[in-house]
Structure 1
């Protein structure tokens, strides 16, 4: 995967498990996401899952963990799986951006850079994540179904959303 240069000194490049320390630091800065989603802050093992978790029938050649950098500082991550559930559709497992970098158009810039890879994207967003639902809807995602899912100590209704282009 080639690095993606964005505006204003931002760049997206692939992350590897050997870089889990900087991912751990980012996850600590994004504890609001984990508390909303799971009800607790993540353990080191859960942070490692960013690199290791795979859906059924997928392998590591299908998984990309991308770092969003502002100059040399990691300010976000994106975890995506190609061709899931169908060929050409990519599943965004996680897009997490540090609090100080939110609401400045960065998420939209990253998303626009990623659309060249697929014919559609899919994402699951917990219904309690009102800002997430608003963000993905503004990008053109529509809800295709909802599922009940148990996370650490919380259960959520998850809106499965899709963007076709």
Structure 2
């Protein structure tokens, strides 16, 4: 992937571990998510995990860590996505984190639409996500985009146990 241009001088492009400092800064700005999800503020390990965590039977060529940039320089979002997981054609959107100052302006929806177009061109038929039950705003956001809950699972996180709503979105042909 080279980059995906969004409206209003936003773009999505690959992130590398060399950008760890600006990624750590964005994760700190998004502490509300980490406290809700993990029960604690993000650590350097949480930031590294964005690059290192992969599902079983997948490898790093299947994983994309992408940044949403404003004016080509300011990191305002992070996306972690794994292709063909858990099945071929379904891609797991593991994380979509947006700077609180950038939330509520349509950026998440624009980024999501660009991701669908990009992933579809690479063979994706659907996205799968997990949203913790306590993340009411997240559940509303994803539901408004057309995601439907297919099951619930209980998962252990850093300092919390959460019920996770597994949701999917089938792409329209």
The normalised TM-score by structure 1 is 0.99
- Residue of structure 2 in register with 1:22 after alignment: 22
Alpha-carbon distance, 1:10 to partner: 0.4
Alpha-carbon distance, 1:46 to partner: 1.6
Q: Structure 1: 5+ residue runs without aligned partners?
A: none
Runs of 4 or more consecutive aligned structure 1 residues displaced over 4 Å after TM superposition: none
- Residue of structure 2 in register with 1:148 after alignment: 154
Q: Structure 2: 5+ residue runs without aligned partners?
A: none
- Residue of structure 1 in register with 2:88 after alignment: 87
Instruction: Select the residue among 149, 152, 159 that pairs with 2:165.
Output: 159
Q: Deviations over 1:76-96 (max 9, x none)?
A: 000000000111110000000
- Residue of structure 1 in register with 2:65 after alignment: 65
- Residue of structure 2 in register with 1:43 after alignment: 43
Alpha-carbon distance, 1:2 to partner: 1.9
Alpha-carbon distance, 1:42 to partner: 1.6
Alpha-carbon distance, 1:149 to partner: 0.5
Is 1:106 paired with 2:112?
Answer: no
CA distance in 2, matches of 1:120, 1:46: 27
CA distance in 2, matches of 1:115, 1:74: 21
Q: Deviations over 1:16-67 (max 9, x none)?
A: 1111111001001100000010010121112100011001000000000000
Paired residues in the alignment total 165
Provide the aligned C-alpha RMSD in A. 0.6
CA distance in 2, matches of 1:44, 1:136: 28
